[in-house]
Structure 1
């Protein structure tokens, strides 16, 4: 949930603390499913504090983890040292990813499409660095499924929420954005976390292919 290219020191510290509670509430299990079966070289876009790192399977040869927020990047670097696979954490923007064209077997985006400045540009970059047939694995909070909650989300997004929470937008339809970027959706699961409906409870987990 970090916005590429901008420092959010207060939000970053808040997010790092809250994330631990959300992991215990069930998100860690979803991260395990998100990364299951990955192999080869992977680019993770918007790595945050590195909470996915513990879930990468041993068949992954290397992860290039891109995180623009300095405090979160330091936490990610510490978590990279505990991972089962090689993870290199670097500064970078989702809209201008490090890496040559078609240089990664897979890409991972976890709670980042809500806050990138330009979803279309970020997804074009992901598509650029993925090899033909490469996978995009994604775990994102998205637009609600009821008009009433969508209204609440859009009100939040139009007022203080993005400014207070690192550029996060609660009402983005990230699955549609992934398809518009030229990916083919192969699997899409929608779920609530927590099961009590809040503007941030609507999540998707899936696989798309370049």
Structure 2
């Protein structure tokens, strides 16, 4: 499986993850609260979520295609395992569309954190998540999403020009929540978040945080 390389973006992202705003840190905690058992996290980045998993999670299979980010996540995973010996974290190369063999389900939860904006195939990725979950398992999502009005127009413009190339394939104007619904998940909790005031020209400010379930 080829390794993804975005050297400049990876370094910028690594710096950003070490300087996350408080509201992002709080959202990560909310995203993961109450989880237990076996979890698949796709697009783990530098391992920013690892410290937020509750001790009731016994195993995390963390998928990250970017080599530099994956190396950093491996270090963070080892620190978490030392701090919480009851949790095993396996950091692996792979993508949502091409999960490695040891990422086979069933999982109690699949975690998507700022990743569905950058996958090549959103329906295929969500189908992969659905297949990896046990019946009744949960999809936890914290994602950039499309909005309407002038900001939606700005999102479409930046997506069609420089944004995906500059930011590791990120697309700001994706109907991610609608795609989750169409993939067969049942939303059981959802809220919209603004990462910046509505008047601010920040394409990634509209976010969605929620829980969807594979029907039992």
TM-score normalized by structure 1? 0.93
Which of 162, 184, 189 is 2:191 aligned to?
189
Matched residues in 2 for 1:5 and 1:141: separation?
24
Work out the CA distance in 2 between the residues paired with 1:62 and 1:73.
Answer: 17
Cα distance in structure 2, aligned partners of 1:54 and 1:20: 13
By relative contact order (CA 8 Å, sep 6+), the higher-ranking structure is 1
CA-based RMSD of the aligned residues comes to 1.5
- Number of the residue aligned with 1:17: 15
Q: 1:38 offset after TM fit, Å?
A: 0.2
Q: Is 1:203 matched with 2:202?
A: no
C-alpha separation between the residues in 2 aligned to 1:5 and 1:151? 33
- Structure 2 gaps of 5+ residues are none
Partner of 2:48: 51
CA contact (8 A) 1:101 1:131 kept: no
Q: How far did residue 105 of structure 1 move? A: 0.8
Q: What are the equivalent positions in structure 2 for 1:127-206 lying under 5 Å apart?
A: 127-144=130-147, 146-195=148-197, 197=200, 198-206=202-210
What's the secondary structure of 2:90's corresponding residue? strand
CA offsets 1:142-174 (integer angstroms, 9 cap, x no match):
112x31001000000001110111100010111
Change (3 A) 1:100 1:6: closer
Using the alignment, how far apart are the partners of 1:5 and 1:202 within structure 2?
Answer: 30
CA distance in 2, matches of 1:203, 1:167: 17
* 1:107 paired residue number: 110
| Displacement after TM superposition at 1:87 (Å) | 0.9
Query: Residue 195 of structure 1: CA displacement?
Result: 3.7
Q: Is the 8 A contact 1:101 1:128 kept in 2?
A: no
Distance 1:101 1:91, change over 3 A: closer
2:75 matched to 1:78? yes
Distance 1:25 1:59 in 2: 24
How many pairs align? 205
Distance 2:208 2:154 in 1: 19
